[in-house]
């Protein structure tokens, strides 16, 4: 599997060099590409999953959790691109896909009987089935180059949260399966000789509280736990 992962960037780099040469000469690759009403492609990318955490205003006099912090973790994503042309500079994109990753939550727990503070780490593993619907507003094409912005929303189903094995593991932080987020992003794309290649940076900000309540010190000391993700995607259309 490592061989294609090494070769793919080199192939894209070769096409970008050729596209740069065409750009200098004023030659447009794929001149009728943007006239299509609908087109398809795929995207490969990396993600950084994290949480936005809010603690209760008052934790009570017998609370033993002194501090809670989150730690982001890296993962990856693969998705299918479905693109509908609305206007010369506006497209509607539906990009269903799978994303994998995990996050960690660290607790500083004080034990009154011993006077010792210990660190407890809970892991939230996720396999998301994502359904983003995004508007893409793009600049006018400059020979073989465009820039664009994205905004829209996404529904995600966490398949890992429904795993019985993960639900029974005490080291795991239990999450609810359904998530909704607001997505915004920016990107650039190049029209190569045979396809269009893009690089995209996108952020997702979850709306609902994802924490499954278990009436323990690990859940009672969190008022809200919302998803937060950063994506670096490479698109091929």
- pLDDT of 173 reads 84
- pLDDT of 79 reads 97
Q: Which of 107, 92, 128, 105 is nearest to 206 (CA)?
A: 128
Higher pLDDT: 157 or 14? It is: 157
**Pairing mode, if any, of strands 65-71 and 97-111?**
antiparallel
Q: Which of 85, 206, 224 is nearest to 154 (CA)?
A: 206
Higher pLDDT: 211 or 164? It is: 211
Q: Which of 210, 224, 187 is nearest to 81 (CA)?
A: 187
pLDDT in tens, 126-156: 999 999 999 999 999 998 999 999 999 999 9
Confidence of residue 61 (pLDDT cuts 50, 70, 90): very low
- pLDDT of 141 reads 92
Give the pLDDT mean for 42-59: 88
Determine contact, residues 224/54, Cβ cutoff 8 Å.
yes
What is the average pLDDT value for the chain, to the nearest integer?
A: 85
* CA 42/CA 169 separation, integer angstroms: 35
Give the pLDDT mean for 15-31: 63
Q: Is the pLDDT of residue 73 over 60?
A: yes
List of E strands, 29-176:
38-54, 65-71, 73-85, 90-94, 97-111, 116-138, 145-158
Q: Is the dihedral of CA 27, 237, 87, 190 positive or negative?
A: negative
Higher pLDDT: 173 or 36? It is: 36
pLDDT in tens, 80-112: 999 999 999 999 999 999 999 999 999 998 888
Domains with residue ranges and CATH for the chain: 2-58+74-102+126-215+222-236 (2.40.160.20)
Higher pLDDT: 99 or 215? It is: 99
Higher pLDDT: 18 or 83? It is: 83
Give the pLDDT mean for 164-192: 83
Which segment of 82-86, 104-108, 186-190, 211-215 scores lowest on mean pLDDT? 211-215
Give the pLDDT mean for 39-47: 95
Confidence of residue 26 (pLDDT cuts 50, 70, 90): low
Q: How much of the chain is in helix, strand and coil states, percent to nearest 5?
A: 15, 55, 25
Confidence of residue 2 (pLDDT cuts 50, 70, 90): very low
């Amino acid at each position: 599997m490592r061989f294609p992962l090494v070769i793919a960037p080199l192939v894209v780099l070769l096409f970008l060099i050729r596209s740069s040469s065409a750009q200098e000469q004023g030659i447009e690759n794929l001149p009728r590409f943007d006239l299509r009403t609908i087109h398809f492609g795929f995207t490969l990318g990396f993600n950084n999953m994290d949480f936005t955490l809010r603690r209760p205003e008052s934790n009570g006099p017998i609370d033993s959790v002194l501090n809670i912090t989150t730690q982001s973790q890296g993962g990856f994503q693969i998705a299918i691109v479905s693109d509908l042309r609305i206007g010369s500079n506006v497209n509607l994109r539906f990009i269903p896909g799978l994303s994998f990753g995990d996050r960690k939550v660290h607790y500083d727990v004080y034990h009154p009987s011993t006077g010792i503070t210990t660190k407890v780490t809970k892991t939230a593993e996720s396999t998301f089935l994502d359904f983003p619907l995004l508007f893409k507003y793009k600049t006018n094409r400059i020979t073989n180059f465009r820039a664009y912005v994205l905004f829209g929303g996404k529904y995600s189903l966490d398949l890992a949260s429904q795993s019985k094995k993960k639900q029974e593991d005490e080291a795991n932080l239990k999450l609810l399966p359904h998530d909704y987020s607001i997505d915004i992003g920016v990107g650039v794309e190049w029209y190569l000789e045979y396809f269009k290649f893009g690089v995209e940076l996108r952020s997702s900000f979850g709306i609902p509280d994802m924490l499954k309540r278990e009436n323990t010190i690990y859940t009672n000391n969190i008022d809200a736990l919302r998803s937060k993700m950063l994506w670096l995607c490479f698109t091929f259309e």
